Amino acid sequence: MRSRVPRVVTASALVVSLALAATPAVAAATPAAGRSDTTAQRARLQELARKLVDAGAPGVIVRVDDGRGRPVEIAAQAPWTRRDHLLTAADEYRMGSNTKTMMATLVLQLVAEGRLALADPVDKWLPGKVPGGTAITLRMLLNHTSGLFDYTKDAAMRRSMLGTDRRRWTSEKLLALGVKHAPLFAPGAKWSYSNTNYAAIGAVLERVTGASLADLVRDRIARPLGLEHTYFATDGTWRGTHAHGYEPDAAHMPPGVPAGFRHFAGPRRHGHVDVSGNDPGWGGAAGAVVSSTRDWSRFFTALMSGTLLPAAQLAQMRTTVPVDPRQPDGPGYGLGIQTGPHPCGTFWGHDGGIPGYLTVNVTDRAGGRTAMVLVATESWIEFETDPKIAEAAGALQTAAICAMFGKPAPAAG
């Protein structure tokens, strides 16, 4: 689904819509291919990253680990961005809705400890905060079958997303913004992506543990795994060297973008606005985590291999509902994680979009292979205004997924 506004997630099926685009046939790699395959994949990914920059992306980071040796890491950037920062593959960046995978992990850890149950109605933990909350379970929040309206579609959120309003948003305030609207459908009736679901999850986590989301991410995930560049952002500051994210300035914004979304706050750069200093706190439990490709790869490996969750809870996370009821065997959404078929193999993961940062992060079922792609601009996908970037990003994402599975990247078609 798309909201036509810059929201935390660009489209929950972004990985599916881009990676499943028709591609030339790919052949399986043979064991004898070894290092020559890696060299060819690196060259192909470098070529596609550069094409994406040439198409208009200010910066691109790619990291692919096929589980057979040294990962491929690539950074490419437009020359005009170098005055702000020399981009590297190790840089921190905003993860947007990939945050949901971490929030679901935290919930499932508490389920394993007997402190929560997926069948708990939200009203048990947030009494009176969600209309109809006796019929909406934590599972429905996690897999987007609650029917709750998406708070990022409310006009009151617009200035925060653009960076012109510095107010502090809490989980409960974000939840209240979403539930003041009528629900889209009865709880459990179907699937519809809504960031309000995870605002509710954030409020539940805080209520049950008595800890902040920042502390929970730090103490339950980042520190145990040694993720030095992973944290829940509480303001617009960064802890390490970071990728700068940009959006077109008002004079260069494509004509398809509504007037209300053309004026981002931040320093002007070469027809763009550097939005890196804007506060992502409005993303909350739906999208405020910062990380890096290396950290996220380690997180995925720990998650999917069972280090972070017992087998029973990991199985619950992987239990999916169809994203499209017309394709019951097609793309699915589990608890904070997506899955879908691909010409090179079935992937698991998530995507995320927050101003300045469009990310796709995928892994295989066991977590032994990972692929991450960052594009340092995001509004193009929200409003479908730049087909050149869209085509180049789709080609790079597809090639990264194939490289993750140890298969040749598709030839240009």
SS3 letters across 134-151: CCCEHHHHHHCCCCCCCH
Structure tokens at 238: 């960064």
* Residues 6 or more apart whose Cβ sits within 8 Å of residue 197: 140, 141, 142, 144, 146, 148, 286
* Closest by Cα among 266, 128, 284, 319 to 206: 284
Residue 244: how many CB atoms within 10 A of its CB?
A: 24
97 classed as catalytic: yes
CA-wise closest residue to 94 among 392, 393, 337, 378: 378
CA distances from 11 to 2, 180, 204, 217 (A): 6, 23, 25, 24
What CATH homologous superfamily does 14-404 map to? DD-peptidase/beta-lactamase superfamily (3.40.710.10)
Check residue 121 and report its DSSP letter.
B
DSSP 313: H
Catalytic position from the list 97, 160, 276, 379: 97
Helix (H) / strand (E) containing 289: strand 289-291
Sign of the CA dihedral with 296 first, then 299, 300, and 301 last: positive
Return the pLDDT at 409: 66
Alpha-carbon span 345 to 173, nearest angstrom = 41
Domain extents in the chain: 14-404
**pLDDT computed for residue 17 by the predictor:** 40
DSSP designation for 117:
-
Give φ, ψ of 400 to 5 degrees. -65, -40
Spans of the chain below 70 pLDDT: 1-36, 409-413
Phi-psi region of 338 (alpha: psi -120 to 50; beta: other; left: phi over 0): beta
**DSSP annotation of 284:** H
CA nearest 96: which of 275, 266, 250, 239? 275
CA-CA distance, 138 to 346, in Å (whole number)?
Answer: 27
Q: 382-406, pLDDT tens digit by residue?
A: 888 899 999 999 999 999 999 999 9
pTM, entire model: 0.92
Cα 381 to Cα 286: distance, rounded to the nearest angstrom: 18
Spatial separation of the C-alpha atoms in residues 69 and 62, rounded to whole Å: 16
